Amino acid sequence: MSHKILLVDDEPRLLEGLKRALRKEPYTIVTAGSATAALHIMRGDVFDVVISDQDMPGLTGTKFLQIVHEEFPDTVRFMLTGRATLEVAIDAINSGAISRFFTKPANTTDLAVTILHALQHKDLVCEAKRLVRATRNPAGIIEDLERDYRGISNVNRDADGAVILDAQISGHGELIASMRETVAELEKRSNTNSKAEPKE
């Protein structure tokens, strides 16, 4: 699924300029001419990054991004402003509303690189959360492994409770080699599945 970026500014020419500058990037770009319009759009769709101007009629960029922070905490938030005062910066950072400031006119190369890094970080966080959720259900993981590798969860023990190794494995070297083969196969299968699964 393509990443989605929302650009918010009351200057149509600036929005078009940013869209044009970012047109070759591998994500979908949506624009909004006001904070109110942007909130309406965000409440109907999922966005990975939102970049907002500070000085707009109605809601300021700081107030808008505070709302985005509360309603859509997983969305990365940047501010674009022509007047990056210390007061605005402190207000935005203290409220947790933004992670980066850009001044107008924005350096589009810097903007594109920062967006890319933000998306990579967001994807890593999402994958980590997915893995945490998966490990909270170990029974489900064992069931999946048993389905794909029948007998993998069966452990033979002797009367004292010691694990009885497969008779075909005659030493610790062969055991380690066998384990490595199994781990490699599981990693290969995991990589194949992660590529096939849609991103969250």
Block means of pLDDT (10 residues each) for the chain, length 200 residues?
87 88 87 93 93 87 90 90 69 69 80 88 80 67 69 70 57 60 70 59
Q: Model's pTM, two decimal places?
A: 0.62
- Delimit the domains of the chain by residue range: 3-130, 137-196
Question: What CA–CA distance (Å, rounded) separates 131 from 142?
Answer: 14
Neighbours of 42 (CB within 10 A): 22
CATH for the 3-130 domain, from 3.40.50.2000, 3.40.50.20, 3.40.50.2300, 2.170.120.20: 3.40.50.2300
